[in-house]
Amino acid sequence: MKPQYENTILIVDDQSTMRMLLSQLLKKEGYKVVESTCGEEAVLLAKDSNFDGILLDLKMKGINGIETCRQIRGIARHQVTPILIITSMGEDEALPEAFEAGCDDFIVKPINPVVLHARLKAHIHKTELYNQLESVRKSLNRYISPRTQNMVEHYAGSGEYPAPEKRQICSLFTDIRGFTQLSQHIETEHLFSLLSEHLAYQVELVYQYSGYVDKYAGDGIMAIFEGPEMAKQSCHCALEIIAHAKDLARHEKNHLFAVGCGLDKGQAIIGNIGSPEHLDYSVIGETVNLAARLCGYARPMSIAVSESIFIENKDNKHFHFSPEHHIEIKGFEQLVSVRELTSPSTIS
């Protein structure tokens, strides 16, 4: 008994005898078959249906096999679907154009069943492997930042890691106050759901304001902003994070998720850290350390910002900064100037 591959093949040929022959050969090997009598019909079918492989006759009435291949290859769902061109002896001169149009292989008439099956099976297998890798890649991309994705893609293409680089950045840290205590008094499933919801909203805001999340830190995030508008964008983002936390607390009728934020602007180094076996592509520098410390210093539902953030935004009518005060921060030799950022609408 032949194996059931459960793959669907589209056969496109204007000759009924050839369609019948190909259909019989494929069905005998366990394939499902859909037949089309012309290129125009095949393109319409390809727009609405998924196929695991497509067999195209080179010469047909209407649009020929090459043009049919080009149009099908332009359909998103069939960008990697195996397309094999059926040719007759002496038609080799058309093959360069066929490959340029996107075909993967060709079969010469008279059809050899062994060759047909072997080539079709091989191309379908390669496509399945590609789709599996794409699925893994998309899943992994949900766990790493866009900057890290770009670095990995660069390395995959060149084989060399990009050198560490100095950049001006704004770093934003968030943290939920009293999370450990909350976990002792709230049902774990409900707490986890609320935490996931809130962090998801923080991430959406970061990307909305042109930043990216470098990493999660348990019950908070570390986000990076770059570019000419980074100081303004990071402040808007922090204010909306606090506003959402307050809405969530009111909804829960308690002080759940009392968030604190820390913001600083300065120079940092972006690069790979760790061993060749396990690397972290991250941001390090005094500005990152200061933002983290300011986050720890911030009162619940408040944003502590550095002097550099204040200087960049002091004339922005959308922000209000408290008078500065100086505090000692571990790891810093001198007193650090700190202000609290709020929205003018919250000032009575």
Domain boundary among 141, 176, 211: 141
Residue 154 covered by a domain: no
Residue 263 covered by a domain: yes
Q: Count structural domains, the chain.
A: 2
Residue-by-residue pLDDT tens, the chain, 348 positions: 455 558 999 999 999 999 999 999 999 999 999 999 999 999 999 999 999 999 999 999 899 999 999 999 999 999 999 999 999 877 778 889 999 999 999 999 999 999 999 999 999 999 999 998 888 877 766 777 777 777 777 777 777 777 888 999 999 999 987 666 666 666 778 777 777 888 889 999 999 999 999 888 778 899 999 999 999 999 999 999 999 888 877 775 554 568 999 999 999 998 888 887 787 888 889 999 999 999 999 999 999 999 999 999 999 999 999 999 999 988 888 899 999 999 987 654
CATH of the domain at 280: 3.30.70.1230
Backbone angles phi, psi at 231, to 5 degrees: -65, -45
Residues 241 and 108 in one domain: no
pTM for the model = 0.67
CATH of the domain at 18: 3.40.50.2300
Residues 134 and 225 in one domain: no
- Tell me what pLDDT residue 187 has: 72
Residues 250 and 304 in one domain: yes
Residue 155 covered by a domain: no
Other beta carbons within 10 Å of 198 = 21
- Tell me what pLDDT residue 255 has: 45
For residue 131, give its domain range.
8-141
Cis peptide, bond prior to residue 300, ω within 30 of zero: no
